[in-house]
Structure 1
Amino acid sequence: MYALRLPHDPRAARVARMTVRAALSGHGLHEVLDAVELLTSELVTNTYLHTGGPASLRLTALSDGRLRVGVWDGHPRIPAPFGAPPRDRVPLTPAEAEAGRGLHLVQAYADAWGGWSVGDGGPLERGAGKLLWFEVGGRSRPGQCGR
């Protein structure tokens, strides 16, 4: 497992991408590197844009070959597609919009995803906020959601 605390800084997404690239390359996980780097960057960018505090990044290799990436931040709102069912209801983004496509990428590239409020018995001991996660690789089925 790799863990990294990220400051509330516009460069945090770049630091997260570099960390993901180094960790996955070092473990020979080249086949999932581009997707993990893209999705990690999207989640960390959202924490910077929509929260006022630091974030944390966790990379965890699961026993069946999957890789789970979790991003914690201090804001309690869990966005679609990570929240309660139906998880597939990410609002459509107008064609002329300059932002708003990141969560659609999660649906397109992750094998599984989910999220929980940390204050509701989640696995982190930070006291507040949320953890959003996605998985790639292994035996997951595309679009599978859950905890």
Structure 2
Amino acid sequence: MHDHSPAPASWRIALPHSAAAVPVARALVRDALAELEHTADGDTAELLTAELVANAVEHTSGRTPIELVVELMPTGCQVEVHDPDPSPPADLTRPDLEPPDPWREDGRGLLLIRALSSSCGHRPTEAGKAVWFRLPAVPAQRRPPA
């Protein structure tokens, strides 16, 4: 007998400061969404999480682990990546003064996140910063049958 009351759930996991963190983060998000039969778009969540984690690994120095926080709410999910660098991510909140160059590797991921998430941003933390995005829950009738 399963109780399907939509209690919020959250996962918090430390990831290595290396490219190996990306597939681990993707798997965690996939498992988190699947476990609760959660209705947010798992493919989009995985893609955006991979971008955030890759960004954190690439643009912060040192060996301090980065942290992935996944929160599931009845209205959708929020994913945060914590890293030790306090400076904000360049492309996430900057107004589009000039169109981004799609061939520039570093700008693409954050543009993708801005385009595909319902909201995104960053905030300072005691140890550095957290960059986050939210995805809305997809109505059940729009979901492909499992």
TM-score bracket, normalised by the shorter chain, equals: 0.7 to 0.9
Q: 1:27 aligns with which of 36, 44, 50?
A: 36
Residue 11 of structure 1 is aligned with which of 12, 20, 24? 20
> Which of 60, 66, 75 in structure 2 is aligned with 1:51?
60
Instruction: Give yes or no for the alignment of 1:66 onto 2:66.
Output: no
TM superposition outliers: structure 1 runs of 4+ over 6 Å: none
Q: Residue in 1 aligned with 2:121?
A: 114
TM-score computed with the length of structure 1 as normaliser: 0.76
Q: Which one has a bigger Cα radius of gyration?
A: 2
> Contact 1:81 / 1:114 at 8 angstroms: preserved in 2?
no
Could you tell me which amino acid in structure 1 is paired with residue 58 of structure 2?
A: L
Measure the CA separation in 1 of the matches of 2:98 and 2:65: 26
Q: Name the CA distance, whole Å, in 1 between partners of 2:19 and 2:50.
A: 11
Residue 144 of structure 1 is matched in structure 2 by: none
Residue in structure 2 matched with residue 134 of structure 1 by the alignment: 133
8 Å contact from structure 1 (residues 81, 90) kept in 2: no
Q: Show structure 1 runs of 5+ residues with no match.
A: 119-126, 140-147
Partner of 1:142: none
Shift of 1:70: 0.7
The residue matched to 1:100 in structure 2 has which SS?
helix
For residues 118-141 of structure 1, what are the alpha-carbon distances to aligned partners after superposition, in whole Å with 9 as ceiling and x for unaligned? 1xxxxxxxx3200111111149xx
Compute the TM-score of the two structures, normalised by the length of structure 2: 0.76
- State the Cα distance separating 1:78 from its structure 2 match: 1.0
Deviations 1:26-49, CA, capped at 9 Å, x for gaps: 111265101110000000001110
The percentage of aligned residue pairs carrying the same residue is 35
1:13 to partner: Cα distance: 0.7
Q: Aligned letter for 1:104? A: L
